[in-house]
Structure 1
Amino acid sequence: MIDEVQDYLHYLTVERGLSENTLQSYQRDLKQYTTFLMKELKHKELNEVRRNDIMAYLYHLKDAGRASTTIARTIASIRSFHQFLIRERVTDQDPSVHIETPKTERKLPKILSSQEVENLMEAPESNSAFGIRDRAMIELLYATGIRVSELIQLNLSDVHLTMGFVRCVGKGDKERIIPVGRMATEALTTYIENGRGKLLKKKTTDALFLNHHGNRLTRQGFWKILKKLSRAANIQKELTPHTLRHSFATHLLENGADLRAVQELLGHVDISTTQIYTHVTKTRLKDIYSTYHPRA
């Protein structure tokens, strides 16, 4: 079974071009699934697996307290894996075909208020190369709505400040050209001219954002920076890199942006993914009404 999983992951990498994070999710889901099949159900071949076996695994996850979103993602991984096995003629039947995905409640994303965004922008130190870098990263995230994985993969050649845009490669190796506003452009210009060179440490790299070793900044490194800035800005709510992406989309829609345009900027394949932000703006309107209407 281990070999089949590796073949499937190779297929996802080469033919589907999935991101490293998505591949890790598939790998984790399928490793746990096949381990259960081999150790708990004593199966030696994937062709032995039946619908009841998959149901037993899903009940196992439920008994372990896994969230419905986790179970839904696991079902998607298992279903895709078994469809691959059929196509490759490793198995002659698909035991996942009639398994229903549990309904999951879509949680409204947490966002920052405009004032909290301002406080966060003012948190980095303006007199150090690290502070200049941090300000540029936060400004760029909020200005473009790109994912943190896209942010840290940016190279100098992806930034076109005179034209006012950045080029980023998102999920499925899809390229997006995203406009950058005046304030983010100024912060990036300051970083490139006055901060980045001090972080290079005589190294040669095209990476835009660098750590204290002069290497490309990692996701973990950015998380630590964001937590530090959150404390400095006295932001009480939970702040993640995705919070800035959510705030970017919600604030655009609140100010009259077209939903399709926001979908393009975020790089969402399906507009239903973007529509979650319209619910956020409706909730905000309701809160404003309840607060300020004299007979609410």
Structure 2
Amino acid sequence: MSVEGHSGVSRRMAAETIGRVYFALQAVTGAGWWVSVFTVPVVRETTLGALDPVVAAVFDIPLFVVASALAAVLPGRGSRWAAAAATAWTLLVTALLGLYATVTTLAGVGVILMIAASVASAGAWLLLAFGHIPTAVLLVGPFRFRRARPRATPVAHMIATAAQIVVFWGLFLVVFPLIIRALEERWRLMLPVPDGVVVAGVAVVVAASALGLWSAAAMTVEGDGTPLPSAMPNRLVIAGPYRFVRNPMALAGIAQGAGVGLLMSSWMVVVYALAGSLVWNYAIRPHEEADLARVFGDDYRAYARAARCWVPRLRPVGSGG
């Protein structure tokens, strides 16, 4: 076996081990939670609301606890089938419990716990099934990497960029946060916050939006393209905020989301923004940077060595610092 082939096998084995360890932890945690449900009233009330715990246990213990344990210990295909069953059940319970909590205003804590379990279970199942999390499936439609059509002037790209900002900022910074905030209130998960938090949120949103607009302008004018992956710049952009940090658009978007959460006094919106940063950093960024290296070659690799992704430089790239 070649070195590359051996490395691939090692990575798959490591991924499967991580998946098995997660399902083992989920089985133990799930069993402990059920013990608490029947012995600690506050746990039962905050996670199940008025649902009959006996009826829930009849289904959940075999399909969540036992299936997770089997995913951890069974060999090969048996482990993958058990993981698939546990994951499918977790997703179903999350959806049903979310609907129940939204209608009744009960079991909000249970919904949050199940959302976390759903995300983690899905990730662990993918590791067992494929040996990795196939993040490339996210790069479809407007998120598929393509160069923009070259233009003699930046006007067309500026119009397209303005439209993108209206659509994406409207969805990710207004519509989705409003939905999350409404669910947070409906599920009785709101936390008291000082008045100063709202003021801080306004300041963060304004500053981050200014950074986002500055970044979009630099990309449009200097790069002959737009921020949208399906119409990316034709030239490597090392101007404006890109002289200080490698992806100011992502930094601005995440800060905007967190600022909106502060503005709304919503911890769930802040978590939504932070979760978005993790998705971008670990699922999107590797593909984006590989595409940039393929298109711009050594120029991009030199730039990537000079500018960090998240933490701005004190001196701009090319200043001799």
TM-score (norm 2): 0.27
Higher helix share: 2
